Structure 1
Amino acid sequence: MSAFPLGRTRRASLISTMCAGLVAVGGVLTGCSEDPDAGTNGVGKLPPAQIQSKTRKAAEAADSVRLSGKVVVSGRTYKLDMRLKDDGGSGSVTTKGSTFWLLRVGTHLYLKADAGFWAQDDEAGGGQSAGAAAGKLDDKYVKVPQGDPSYKQLSGFTDKDVLLDGLLTLHGTLAQGDRSTADGVRTVEVTGDKGAGGTLAVSLEGEPYPLLLERAGNGGTLELSEWGKDFKLAEPTEKEMVDYGKQLPRS
């Protein structure tokens, strides 16, 4: 019997062992795998514009998402930790040392903050009304009337489509960036103007969800997680809320 087949088997075994050893020590060997995208969702093979298109569609189709991190708008920094879905959202927003909580169920929007938050209006010249209300509103949900000037601004923090549409936009010429991981998930980056226009890390596993966003112009960094993970949204109980009337105190 010819020894050639046995030698070929040994060579194949040697190559396999060598590749496994290089992987174990973090090495890279071209040719050990015919397809570096094997086992991924395939978006890494696509042009950057198509990757961005697919990740937008995946984000829009998802029922829910958690968004956390910092956003800088007009020089003001907002720290967000929001859970969002199509019919509302909940979470916290921190800016200028103050934290408030938002809850939206359908069109009903509620704001909760401590007495210090509400008392800021008094310090800014809001008069006695805000100061007197601060204790009453402390740690209570206050329903924000739809006619109040703050309704549109605050509800934007709880609107999945509005937030994602504004945040997932990259500016300038698109290019494919590095491959990395985000929270243990393999990703491929899409950059705008070599990162100056923003960088988006897209999942290479399962749906091509956006997982990490570095906004253009030092506009903050956000993590996007818990895609499709449902959570409960419920109106506050009577004991948890205060009806302040047709307009909130200025704050």
Structure 2
Amino acid sequence: MTGRARAPRRAALLALVCVGASTALSGCGGGGDEDPDAGTNGVGKLSAAKIERKAKTAAERAKAVRVSGNVVSKGQTYRLKMRLSSSGGIGEVSAEGGSTFQLLRKGRDLYLKAGTGFWARQEGGKKPGKSDIAAAAKLKGKYVKVPEQDPAYKQLSVFTDMSTLLDGLLTMDGKREKGERSTVAGTRTIRVTAGKGRGGTVDVSLEGTPYPLRLRRAGGAGTVQLSDWNDSFALHAPKKNETVDYGKQISPDQHGG
């Protein structure tokens, strides 16, 4: 009789312990089967192709973004620190083995600011003379308006064009597959890979709008982080006393290298 009475009491006590304990405790049964998509935007449940489409759609609809990381273009590696919007962009670009320069574009007006070394190379080639350096020194700390007919305009404005830059960065090649879950700057993400990763990868936010947060480009062509989506910022053209009219063309063949 006593033994039979104890059994229900032990069962009741165990039930109370399980109710009060964390659901992560396996001893309470089923605790290790948490839904990985609980509290997310749900895109983790979708196919890789659908996740990618949602990320691209979110990027296309966004009005602003911050871009930072490395991009390889035509054999040249650039380090980007840019803030972009639908009306222009501002930030810094560093060319590997070359110079660091600042870009500012508002509407169609593109401005470039760089140090003496950068402008000296534009003046006199790879080995500028004293006169080249002296002329370049006058441009140090000044914004130079890049003429639209100059080949440099098309090359440099890409870094300030949100739509064009994102379109190129978000291009992947190969069969899409869902990859691992991770975090980017503290935000939970789901990865989409292309061509087993060789064709690029994109980490998409599992929180809020499914923005792309990190990109690894195909063929080792750079890794870029995207943040501050839709955070608006002001763009102002430089003042007249900060601007120099360089002429019809900045350089016939090279920029920033």
Cα shift at 1:115: 0.6
**Which residues of 2 match residues 1-251 of structure 1 at below 5 A?**
7=11, 10-11=14-15, 13-14=17-18, 17-20=21-24, 31-33=31-33, 35-95=35-95, 96-121=97-122, 122-124=124-126, 130-250=132-252, 251=255
- TM, length-normalised to structure 2: 0.86
Farther off after superposition, 35-44 or 49-58: 35-44
CA contact (8 A) 2:182 2:190 kept: yes
Query: What stretches of structure 2 of length at least 5 have no aligned partner?
Result: 1-6
> Sequence identity, in percent?
53
Matched length: 243
Distance between the aligned counterparts of 1:186 and 1:12, measured in 2? 34
The RMSD of aligned alpha carbons is 2.6
Q: Secondary structure at the match of 2:196?
A: helix
Segment drifting more, 48-57 vs 241-250: 241-250
1:15-55: CA deviations, max 9, x gaps? 66243468xxxxxx965455321110000000000000000
Q: Hey, what's the Cα distance between the residues in 1 that align with 2:251 and 2:94?
A: 19
Is the 1:129–1:249 Cα contact (8 Å) retained in structure 2? no
Q: Which amino acid aligns with 1:204?
A: L
Q: TM-score w.r.t. structure 1 length?
A: 0.88
Instruction: Give the 3 Å change call, closer, same or farther, for CA 5–220 of structure 1 in structure 2.
Output: farther
Report the CA distance between 1:245 and its aligned residue.
2.2
One-letter amino acid matched to 2:36: P
> Is the contact made by 1:130 and 1:249 (CA closer than 8 Å) also made in structure 2?
no
1:131-159: CA deviation from partner (whole Å, max 9, x where unpaired): 45301111110001111111111101000
SS of the residue 2:157 aligns to: helix
Compute the displacement of 1:184 (Å). Answer: 0.5
